[in-house]
Amino acid sequence: MKTLQSRILAFFLVLLLIVVSVTLLAVYRAAYFHTRGQVVTGLDQGSRIIEDKLASRSRTLASAAETLAKDDALRQAIFAEAEDHESLRVALDNHRLRTEADLALLLQLDGSTLAFTADPELEEVELPTSGLTASRPESRSRSRIVVAEDHILQLVLVPYYVPVSAPEPSLWLVLGQTIDDEFAREVKELTGLDAAFVDPGREDLDILASSLGPRTRRALAVRALPGEEAVETLELAGTEFLLTSANLSEASVSPLIAVLLRSVREAFLDFRRLAAQILAITLVSIGLVVVGALLISRGITRPLRSLGEAAREIAGGDYEAELPEESVGEVGDLARELGTMQREIRNRERAIEHLAYHDDLTGLPNRNRFRTELDRAIRRAAEKRHRLAVAVIDLDRFKEINDTLGHHVGDRLLLEVGSRLEALEAESGGAVRVARLGGDEFGALFPGVGIEEARSKAEEIRTRLGEPMETDEILLETQASIGLAAFPDHGGDPGSLLRQAEVAMYVAKERWLGIAFYESSEDQHSIHRLSLMSDLRRAVENDGLDLVYQAKLEIATTRIRQVEALVRWDHPRLGPVSPAEFVPIAEQTGTVRHLSRWVLRRAVKQIVAWREQGLTLQVAVNMSALDLHDRDLPGWLAVLLEESSLSAGSLVLEVTEGSVMADPGTARGILDELASMGATISIDDFGTGYSSLTQLQRLPVHELKVDRSFVKEMTRSDQAHLIVRSTVELGHSLGLRVVAEGVETREDLALLRELGCDLAQGYFIGEPQSPDALARELLVRAETGSDVG
């Protein structure tokens, strides 16, 4: 996790590591070169120390030898040698041991040995005796190093004078000590350097004496030696050495080289100790840095973390989160800003919440809020084993008021209803909760109330809403239908309880009951209606409907030039559904507008198809009241006609009397537009509404359709007969065509002809049929000239 804390820590650690690495490197370099320099100096001094040691030994030996050379007893023995050699040898050996020499020798001037005694290991060694005396005739003590077989011998030759102060020696007295491993070890003790003595004349480096261990010694034996005074690095048996060599041949009869070595590892021991100390300091520093960085970063991150927690709480909806009171610089600013943000969010959320849960017209809680409250109330009631009732209130005839008096009046009405319900809620002291569920639908919740009490409460609501309302100086009297559902009687789920109350409300409205309780059987009906609506919408979208056509007979000419398009719906599950059933539903839900456009599109297509078959027919299409409020319709229709190369004259648009009269202003505008395009406008079901002649005159109407109820009765009822006749006369006097629907008998047609009606439509003229069947029939009629009636 890349926290601030770990970043700070990492930063300090990296910084420290860099500093320590650089320091270590610098110290390492300095110490390395210093140590190496010391080793080189040490090696250089080593050879001098060896020389000093050899000289010192030589002096000691010479001193001993010179004293011995004056010893009377030895002299006696020497001169008795011829008679008693063994005595001389024993005496010499005795002196040798006393002087701690490894060998003692008496040489005659010609180089031959007079007497010889030595350590057992040297007894068999053959000494180059002649070379010792011959080379230098001076009668002085001298020191020589000789290599004899595998031994290095340091010899001191002392002239043996008889008498002691004789001008020339009679013999040479030789004392010798070996230069052996012991000697090399002594050198090492003195100098700290390993020493090896090597005879360079031999093929392989024969190490004659050394302080080295056997493995290193063997490893050195096969190496080439460095030049004198040069210092080289050499790895021997896994150990690195610095070494140099010194030629001892000057003091030696035989060639001899001293090799001095210093183990790098040993030499750098001090340096290593220093490195270890630095490392220890580093580790301690790292520890301190970690602690320090943690402390510093905690100082920053702890308030940040608690701010983060506060922010999470705010995100989770808790606006009362405690913010850490940090006065320190930026963190303090952040805390204060977060506090401000918290308050702002709280205020805004309250505003949003109000918008989300309240209706903006009436200010009452909306459906969502009502559902939530219902849910809460049900749970509370369930806990306390209480009952509760919910009411759905719908205003009667609201749609009519809205349509005829305008939306603003409707809104004023809703406001008034809202305030009355609110007043009721206030008076109840919270015992009743009200809401606007949408449109003209209101809800009321009665906690702790059973069915009977709920009814009386609903009645009170009805009474209150039934009092006249004054809006825009119009006195309105409206009534409400109320549906009731109760918990636990009808269910425990707020959604279904609300829907059940709605169903009960529809029942109350349909049956003029005023108030109704939910019954499950009624529910089935309402579900059927609801599913029908969605099925219809799908059918419109998927061309699941069909059109049939019913002919209209021109009574005067007995020709058929007009047909009415009638929609048919073969429901995939329910079978044929009557338009009388689905059209009102479509009108309620607004689907009717899509339905109308589908019918128009299909009809236009059919006109084109008939044209191609040689039939010229004007098609009448039923328009809904909603279509007369659809300002887009004329433009849409113009495009449709243009695409099909048809004139609007091919269409008759039938509108009911009621739909025009509901909102004459808007309807007239749209009808004017449609008429000006060339479409024929027909008033359907004429005689059932309350249209005034003035209004009729202002409308661009071309045709009146007498309602079928009058046509059916006209041969039997004088009143119906009168209505038909006066309608025909009225129509003609206004210059309108008159169409009679529901013509079922020959007598009907005859009477209509007599009355001067222009067009007749009905089963007697022709049943609604498929476009193909209609086309066939009409084509036959055209050929044969056959007639109806």
Partner 1 sequence: MDQRDKAFVPHVLPITVGTGVVFENSDSIAHHVYSFSPPRRFDFYLSEGESREVVFQSPGVVALGCNVHDWMLAYVVVLETPYFTMTGTDGRAILGDLPPGDYRLQLWHPRIDRKERGIRRDLRIEAVGQETWRVTLERPLLPDRTGERAPEYGGAE
- For partner 1, the closer CB: 59 or 384: 59
- Which listed range, 58-66, 276-284, 466-474, 522-530, lies at the site for partner 1 (CB under 8 A)? 58-66
- Which listed range, 68-76, 326-334, 348-356, 696-704, lies at the site for partner 1 (CB under 8 A)? 68-76
- For partner 1, the closer CB: 82 or 580: 82
Q: Which of 45, 63, 285, 666 binds partner 1 (CB under 8 A)?
A: 63
Give residues 76-115 in contact with partner 1 (rule: CB under 8 A). 78-79
- For partner 1, the closer CB: 142 or 262: 142
Q: How far is the CB of 169 from partner 1 (least distance, A)?
A: 10
Q: How far is the CB of 25 from partner 1 (least distance, A)?
A: 49
Q: How far is the CB of 46 from partner 1 (least distance, A)?
A: 18
Give phi and psi for 152, each to the nearest 5: -105, 125
Q: Which of 36, 46, 47, 75 binds partner 1 (CB under 8 A)?
A: 75
* C-alpha to C-alpha distances, 318 to 310, 368, 623, nearest whole angstrom: 9, 22, 56
- For partner 1, the closer CB: 126 or 138: 138
Which among 742, 605, 751 has a CA at the least distance from the CA of 684?
742
Q: How far is the CB of 83 from partner 1 (least distance, A)?
A: 12
- For partner 1, the closer CB: 252 or 478: 252
Q: Which of 27, 251, 646, 788 binds partner 1 (CB under 8 A)?
A: 251
> What is the C-alpha to C-alpha distance for residues 789 and 786, in angstroms, rounded to an integer?
9
> What is the C-alpha to C-alpha distance for residues 697 and 734, in angstroms, rounded to an integer?
8
- For partner 1, the closer CB: 249 or 666: 249
Q: How far is the CB of 262 from partner 1 (least distance, A)?
A: 26
Amino acid identity, residue 146?
V
H or E stretch at 28: helix 4-69
Q: For residue 236, what are the contacts with CB-CB under 8 A and spacing of at least 6?
A: 216, 219, 220, 223, 261
Q: Which of 5, 58, 129, 606 binds partner 1 (CB under 8 A)?
A: 58
| Stretch 500-539: interaction string toward partner 1, x if CB under 8 A | ----------------------------------------
Q: For residue 611, what are the contacts with CB-CB under 8 A and spacing of at least 6?
A: none
Cα angle at 741 between 738 and 744, to 5 degrees? 130
Q: How far is the CB of 17 from partner 1 (least distance, A)?
A: 59
Cα angle at 601 between 597 and 603, to 5 degrees? 115
- For partner 1, the closer CB: 70 or 215: 70
Q: How far is the CB of 75 from partner 1 (least distance, A)?
A: 7
- Which listed range, 73-81, 176-184, 483-491, 759-767, lies at the site for partner 1 (CB under 8 A)? 73-81
Q: How far is the CB of 92 from partner 1 (least distance, A)?
A: 17
- For partner 1, the closer CB: 251 or 513: 251
- For partner 1, the closer CB: 111 or 450: 111
Parallel, antiparallel, or unpaired for β 103-108 and 113-118?
A: antiparallel
Which among 52, 149, 67, 139 has a CA at the least distance from the CA of 104?
67
Give residues 130-169 in contact with partner 1 (rule: CB under 8 A). 136, 138-143, 158, 161-168
Q: How far is the CB of 72 from partner 1 (least distance, A)?
A: 5
Return the bridge partners of 392, or none: 443, 483
- For partner 1, the closer CB: 171 or 545: 171
- For partner 1, the closer CB: 78 or 435: 78
Using the rule CB under 8 A, is 70 a contact of partner 1? yes
- For partner 1, the closer CB: 132 or 413: 132
The secondary structure of the chain in percent helix, strand, coil, rounded to multiples of 5, reads 55, 20, 25
The pair of three-digit structure tokens given for residue 4, joined into one six-digit string: 């601030």
- What is the strand order of the sheet 232-236 is part of? 206-210, 194-199, 257-263, 239-247, 232-236
Sign of the CA dihedral running 90, 95, 100, 102: negative
Cβ–Cβ under 8 Å, residues 153 and 165 = no
- For partner 1, the closer CB: 77 or 225: 77
> What is the C-alpha to C-alpha distance for residues 425 and 423, in angstroms, rounded to an integer?
5
Q: How far is the CB of 179 from partner 1 (least distance, A)?
A: 14
H or E stretch at 156: strand 151-160
Which among 649, 640, 725, 642 has a CA at the least distance from the CA of 687?
725
> What is the C-alpha to C-alpha distance for residues 85 and 346, in angstroms, rounded to an integer?
129
Q: How far is the CB of 153 from partner 1 (least distance, A)?
A: 14
- Which listed range, 65-73, 98-106, 386-394, 639-647, lies at the site for partner 1 (CB under 8 A)? 65-73
DSSP secondary structure letters along 601-642: HHHHHHHHHHHHHT---EEEEEE-GGGGG-TTHHHHHHHHHH
Which among 687, 692, 689 has a CA at the least distance from the CA of 708?
687
Q: How far is the CB of 273 from partner 1 (least distance, A)?
A: 41
- For partner 1, the closer CB: 99 or 682: 99
Q: How far is the CB of 85 from partner 1 (least distance, A)?
A: 16
| Count of chain residues binding partner 1 (CB under 8 A) | 29
Q: How far is the CB of 223 from partner 1 (least distance, A)?
A: 29
Q: How far is the CB of 63 from partner 1 (least distance, A)?
A: 6
- For partner 1, the closer CB: 62 or 681: 62
Q: Which of 1, 2, 72, 665 binds partner 1 (CB under 8 A)?
A: 72
* 3 state SS of 568: strand
Which among 543, 535, 529 has a CA at the least distance from the CA of 573?
535
Cα angle at 144 between 94 and 206, to 5 degrees? 100
Residues that bind partner 1 (CB under 8 A): 54-55, 58-59, 62-63, 66, 70, 72, 75, 78-79, 136, 138-143, 158, 161-168, 251
